[in-house]
Chain A
Amino acid sequence: MLKYTEDHEWLRAEGDEIVVGITRHASEQLGDVVFVELPEEGREVEAGDEIVVIESVKAASDISAPVAGVIVAVNADLADNPGAVNEDPLTAWFFRIKPTEAGAIDGFMDEAAYNDLIG
């Protein structure tokens, strides 16, 4: 089951890691994505660190680490095919993070709460 941040990221727990992408709402707001810059694997991040740059035809935006932890993998395919973020935002993941604290995902919004947020 997906969780959501107020920054329009979706979070999916897989074992003790969290996979992170952006929601369809966010991808629609951004417009056509033309460039994605991903963090280095192994990087330790704090919650709120801006670790991904997304450039759309309109502007640059950042994606923040939703929780503190270590980046264990990034989706390098996005470098060659940034348009995947628009085509299928729910499969176009950006990074996997291993949270410092277990249960870090629990406090985020569920789908109903997120849908309320975006109205």
Chain B
Amino acid sequence: MAEELRRTGLYDLHVTHGARMVPFAGWEMPVQYATGVMAEHLHTRAHAGLFDVGHMGQVLVTPRDGRLETAALALERLIPADVLGLPQGRQRYGLFTNPDGGILDDLMFANRGDHYLLVVNAACADQDIAHLKTLDEVVVTPVTDRGLLALQGPDAVQVLARIVPEAAAMRFMDSRILDWQGTELWISRSGYTGEDGFEISVPDVQLVAFAKALLAEDTVAPIGLGARDSLRLEAGMPLYGHDMDAGVTPAAAGLGWAIQKLRRHGGDRAGGFPGAEIVLEEMDRGAAQTRRGLRPEGRAPIREGVPIFADAEGGTPIGEVSSGGFGPSVGGPVAMARIPTDIPDGTTLYAELRGKRLPVTVTPLPFITPSYKR
């Protein structure tokens, strides 16, 4: 018998807004609302979209000795990023690696003065928490009484600032604790759409009231997981379990940038994380394959699993689509695939779809111009 799906505190609100609820990573989540994926996607790019991302794992990591440096250095044993150098009130993207150099999960971590706040993928949360608990110097506390919202789009800042004025002063990847009607909000200026916006952790008891306060604004519409996927795909952002997994290294996933120089060969705190030698040697010599953008020439979307060939006929696949679909803002299909690194942008490759080889152009990511508030 299937395990019971979990619901976020916004379940009833989703249903009220005409959501189609689907199972996702053990949760029952809105894939779309009444207007549909295309309209939701375009609304987010033009105005502001509100996403329930309460399925994601929020975790506090606190040093047992009270010194933040202790927690930073402990986290650096699992995450190949400069954790120690992250200033208070700032957030950074990171990866958990395994001994083979593969990626166990990707995450955001924020320095909150005396501890770190981590946000991890729903499907990996239990595994990540167990992984973190191998660190003796820290206390790992899953946050179980808060929801998580993302407010994304060009109007996000004015909407949020109307009820939380201090949010307007935040810059991209700032992380702050701000007050809303006596409720403590954990806010970061970040997202998964390529748009300016915020991710907001709200106590369960105030979650519905806060979501309703945002949705009361004409410019804000609720957005489902379907549009979240097409928005992040256009923004060139990888999705764990698709564009990367335990068998894909950071360099092959196109995420070498998440490993700051200080953690690479020659850096002050080089290595010291699972799979370090494999990961760093590959970065030194350059990965044989990397994640790239593909633009199919016609209108037919090429989706995950579609093989990519160098030639219009014959040969063996040189890669496989890891994420793909229709990009509403691009106005055509877009995809990502790991293909040989030495293939230049602009090269025509071929996607084999229903027995036919369709031309696709290797295209730099992202497919749209992000509009972060730097």
Residues of A at the B interface (CB closer than 8 Å) are 31-32, 34-35, 37, 53, 55, 57-60, 79, 82, 86
> Are A32 and B300 within 8 A (Cβ)?
no
> Are A57 and B325 within 8 A (Cβ)?
yes
Which residues B171-202 have CB closer than 8 A to chain A?
none
Which residues B21-76 have CB closer than 8 A to chain A?
31-32, 36-39
> Are A57 and B326 within 8 A (Cβ)?
yes
Residues of A within 8 A of B333 (CB): 34-35
Give the docked Cα–Cα distance between A118 and B319 (Å).
41
Give the docked Cα–Cα distance between A25 and B31 (Å).
18
Q: State the Cβ distance, B35 to closest chain A Cβ, in Å.
A: 10
> Are A58 and B226 within 8 A (Cβ)?
yes
Give the docked Cα–Cα distance between A77 and B333 (Å).
19
Residues of A within 8 A of B328 (CB): 57
> Are A32 and B303 within 8 A (Cβ)?
no
Q: Mark B197-233, 1 if CB is under 8 A from A, else 0.
A: 0000000000000000000000000000010001000
> Are B299 and A32 within 8 A (Cβ)?
no
Of A31, A55, A86, which contacts B301 at CB under 8 A? A55
User: Can you name 5 A-B residue pairings with CB atoms under 8 Å?
Assistant: A34-B301, A35-B299, A55-B300, A57-B36, A60-B303
Residues of A within 8 A of B39 (CB): 32
Q: State the Cβ distance, B50 to closest chain A Cβ, in Å.
A: 19
Q: State the Cβ distance, B11 to closest chain A Cβ, in Å.
A: 21
> Are A34 and B36 within 8 A (Cβ)?
no
Knowing A35-B299, A79-B299 touch, does A58 contact B37 (C-beta < 8 A)?
yes
Q: Is B354 engaged at the interface, CB distance under 8 Å to the other chain?
A: yes
Q: At the interface, is chain A mostly helix, strand, loop or mixed?
A: mixed
Residues of B within 8 A of A55 (CB): 300-301, 326
Those 10 A-B pairs whose CB atoms lie nearest each other, nearest first: A32-B38, A34-B326, A57-B37, A35-B299, A35-B300, A55-B301, A32-B36, A57-B326, A31-B36, A31-B37
Give the docked Cα–Cα distance between A55 and B230 (Å).
14
Give the docked Cα–Cα distance between A58 and B38 (Å).
10
Give the docked Cα–Cα distance between A53 and B37 (Å).
20
Give the docked Cα–Cα distance between A63 and B320 (Å).
26
Residues of A within 8 A of B31 (CB): 58
Give the docked Cα–Cα distance between A35 and B354 (Å).
14
Give the docked Cα–Cα distance between A35 and B300 (Å).
6
Which residues B312-353 have CB closer than 8 A to chain A?
325-326, 328, 333
Residues of A within 8 A of B230 (CB): 57
Residues of B within 8 A of A34 (CB): 38, 299, 301, 326, 333
Q: State the Cβ distance, B16 to closest chain A Cβ, in Å.
A: 19
Give the docked Cα–Cα distance between A35 and B301 (Å).
8
Give the docked Cα–Cα distance between A57 and B328 (Å).
9
